Amino acid sequence: MSHRPEADAGVDGVDLSGRTALVTGSTSGIGRETALALGRLGATVFVHGRDRDAGRQVASAIDDAGGDAVFFRADLADVDTVHHLADEIRDRTDRLDILVNNAGAHFSAGHLTSDGVEQTFAVNHLAPFVLTHDLHELLPNDGRVVTVSSGVHHRADGTFDVTTVDDYDGLDAYARSKLANILFTVGLARRLDGPTANCCHPGLVPSSHLWREASLPVRLGVGLLAFLPQRLVGGFAETPATGAATSVYLSASPAVEGISGQYFSECAPADPSATAADDTLARELWDLSEELTGISWS
C-alpha cells in the first residue's frame, strides 16, 4: 500500500499555502517525505542536503506536484557552515513558518569536527541548536519548530562528554545526540514567545540513509529489514513515508497549535525517558551548547 505522510497524519486537508518551511536533511528518507508532503499541502519548501543532484530532484518533484521549492546545499558538521546556511535562508525570506530539524547521522568511527566536537553530537544536536538560534526571529507567532529525535534516546545516561572520542561507541553517541534533541526542545519551548517547539520519534526506518556510516553489523541488520516485505516488518519498522507522518503532523496539524515542549510518537504525545525529563540536565546541556558554539540565547 502506498502511504502519504499527510494522510497518515490526518492533515491531508490542511492548506499551507503562503507558508514557508525548511526541512533539513530532506534529500532522502524521512526528510524527503516530509518535504514532499509539506509541498503537496501548499507550502513553499526549502530543501536542504549535501547532495546537490538529490536536492534538485526533490525540489523538482515538489515543483512538479504544483508546489514551490528551493534547494540549499550545506554540510552541518561545523558551526560556521550552519551559520552560512542560516544566512542564505535569511537572504531568501523574512518569514519562516516551519523549521523541521530532521538531518541526522550515525557514525561507526569516532571523529572530532573542526570545532573539536564529536561529529554525531555536532550534526544531530549542535546544528539544530545553532540553526534554530539564527532563524528563530523569522518565526511568526504561530511558527513551529519540529526536531526529529529517536526512541533510542532511552539508551543514553545523560553524560555529555563530547570533546573526546575515547572509548567511542557509535550507537551510544547516536543515543546521546537524540537525548540532546529532546532536552533542547524543552529548553527551546521555554525561550520562544509565541512559536512552538516539539520533537518526535519517527520509528525505525531501515531504508533510511541514516545508517550508511554505521558499523558493518548494523548496516547488515537494517539492510535485511529494508529488504524484507513491509507486511513482515510493519509491526516494528517503518518506511520513510510512514516514518515522516509525525513530523508532518507536528508541522501542520491544528490539533497541536499552542502545544510546546512535548515529545511525540505515532502522532500522539509520548513519555520520553526520565533522563529526558530532567530539568537540571536540560539547563546544563543548554549552557554546554552555548559554550561549544559560541552563541548566546536570551
Kindly list the catalytic residues: 174
Query: Comparing C-alpha atoms, which of 140, 105, 116, 118 is closest to residue 18?
Result: 140
- The residue type found at 64 is D
Helix orientation angle between 29-40 and 52-64, rounded to the nearest 10 degrees: 30
DSSP letter at 125?
I
**Cα–Cα distance, 186 to 172 (Å, whole number):** 21
Pairing status of strand 98-101 against strand 144-148: parallel
Distance separating alpha carbons of residues 19 and 98, to the nearest angstrom: 8
CA 21 to chain centre: 13
Enclosing H/E stretch for 247: helix 245-252
Which residues are within 8 A (CB) of 242 and not within 5 positions of it... i.e. 6 or more apart? 3, 5, 8, 203
Grid cell listed for 253: 496539524
Q: Are 202 and 249 in contact (CB under 8 A)?
A: no
CB-CB contact of 41 with 11 (8 Å): yes
User: From start to end of 105-181, where are the E strands?
Assistant: 144-148
Strand partners for 49: 73
